[in-house]
Structure 1
Amino acid sequence: MCSHYDPLLDAKNLRQHFGVDDIPPSLKSSLWPTYVGPFVRKHANADVGDEAVPFKELMVGSFGLIPHWSKDTSIAKRTYNARSETVHEKPSFRDSWRLNRHCIIPAEAIFEPDWRTGKAVPTRIVRTDGKPMGIAGIWTGWKNPANGEILRSFSMLTVNADDHEFMRNYHKPDDEKRMVVILHEDEYDGWLAAPADDCRQYLKQFPADLIAVSQTGPQ
């Protein structure tokens, strides 16, 4: 599970690695649930047949999915990760899944607790090749009942990692080991375009030799 990550905010790198030309607004450089961060989705008008419309667009939203029926945004503190095994049936996530609202969360790094010393040691994890992570997620929009404004939000998808050579070292010893779904670059467009009934091939572990620790201790 991942409740803390560093988003990719550099416009040049977003263009190079994710193919979006939008310039992100001023955002926090390290995010926790309810913080606002960038995500990439299939452009709202990508299917109109206009070559001038890009396939992808950069959006910003709350880290933690806020379903349309929620009375307020506090639910985001509990919906920042969605289990890939049950995302289709959980009330908070099932509408986004059914509507194929796939997204990619661009990240410089994720943080996980290393409990091997008996205490939780915050650990910053990155790709070994220096590229940013493209984390598979789902998104939605929520209408604020007070002012009618639309707030977008997103959640990272996770898979079991009990047998993952790297990620099995994180979280409490007796807890199930989980990891976010990190996509390969050649999977980005496929993930964004895939229908709900034909997208689970993307929900898999990322190779252990392609991720590593970059920093440990207080972050």
Structure 2
Amino acid sequence: MCVQYHALQSAKDYQRFFGVDQPPEPGKQDLWPGYEGSFIRRQPRDAAALEACNGLFGLVPHWATHTQMARNNYNARSETVGEKPSYRDAWMSAQHCIIPAQAIFEPDWRSGRAVSTRIERTDGQPMGIAGIWSCWKSPQGDVFSYSMLTINADAHPLMRHFHRPEEEKRMVVVLPEDRYADWLHAPVRDSMDFLLPYPAEALRATAPPQPQASLFG
């Protein structure tokens, strides 16, 4: 489950890699559930055009009474996304989005304690993470939000090493660039066809330097 990621910050990269203008307030670089980031979707009035929107990281369904739900709805499991009340309407309406990210962070427990590890593409290009979005109409106006889609990673050569040993291994869906447009325009009947693991050899994991043991104990 991905609870932290680094958002794309360069307006040039939004254009170069996703073909959209950077939203006016792209939010923080270091994002956690409940923070405001950005996502890319089809424009409602022009299905052929795309736009980047500001939104909360964590889905707030249209029937919600407050935005605190975002803190629990940041990862939607592919196996149950069409059934869970929080995600069902967005999924069945094919409200697909792409979440631009420079890197995600996952805990590596192989040492016996959690070591936050940065995971990014080996070519240095941003990730386009598959997600779903929603719009909640608050008294103050529309509140957009989004969630990352996740799949089982028990057999993935890289992602199986993260999270506690006893937990199921999960990973976000990183889309190939040539499938961005197809994902955003796909009907719900085809949505599952896009939820595939990204090749391990195209990803790299980097852990921060660990403190050295003192010579004086």
TM-score range, shorter chain: over 0.9
Match of 1:51 in 2: none
Distance in 2 (alpha carbons) for counterparts of 1:11 and 1:24: 10
Does 2:40 match 1:40?
Answer: yes
Which one of 122, 125, 131 corresponds to residue 137 of structure 1? 131
Match of 2:112 in 1: 118
Distance in 1 (alpha carbons) for counterparts of 2:26 and 2:191: 33
**TM-score with structure 2 setting the length:** 0.93
Percent identity for Structure 1 against Structure 2: 52
Aligned partners of 1:11 and 1:24 also within 8 Å? no
Match of 1:50 in 2: none
**TM-score with structure 1 setting the length:** 0.92
Aligned partners of 1:24 and 1:38 also within 8 Å? no
- CA-based RMSD of the aligned residues comes to 1.3
Distance 1:26 1:164, change over 3 A: closer
Gaps (5+ residues) in structure 1?
Answer: 48-53
Distance in 1 (alpha carbons) for counterparts of 2:22 and 2:151: 30
SS in 2 for 1:153: strand
Match of 2:183 in 1: 191
Whichever residue aligns with residue 7 of structure 2, its letter is P
How much does 1:217 deviate? 6.0
SS in 1 for 2:62: coil
Aligned partners of 2:108 and 2:114 also within 8 Å? yes
Matching of residues 61-210 of structure 1 within 5 Å: 61-144=55-138, 147-210=139-202
Aligned partners of 1:140 and 1:152 also within 8 Å? yes
C-alpha distance after superposition, 1:130-179 (max 9, x if no partner) = 100000000000112xx341100000000000000000000000000000
Larger radius of gyration: 2
How many positions carry a matched residue from both structures? 210
Aligned partners of 2:23 and 2:53 also within 8 Å? no
Does 2:20 match 1:28?
Answer: no
Distance in 2 (alpha carbons) for counterparts of 1:8 and 1:46: 25
Distance in 2 (alpha carbons) for counterparts of 1:83 and 1:215: 26
Aligned partners of 1:105 and 1:156 also within 8 Å? yes
How much does 1:26 deviate? 5.1
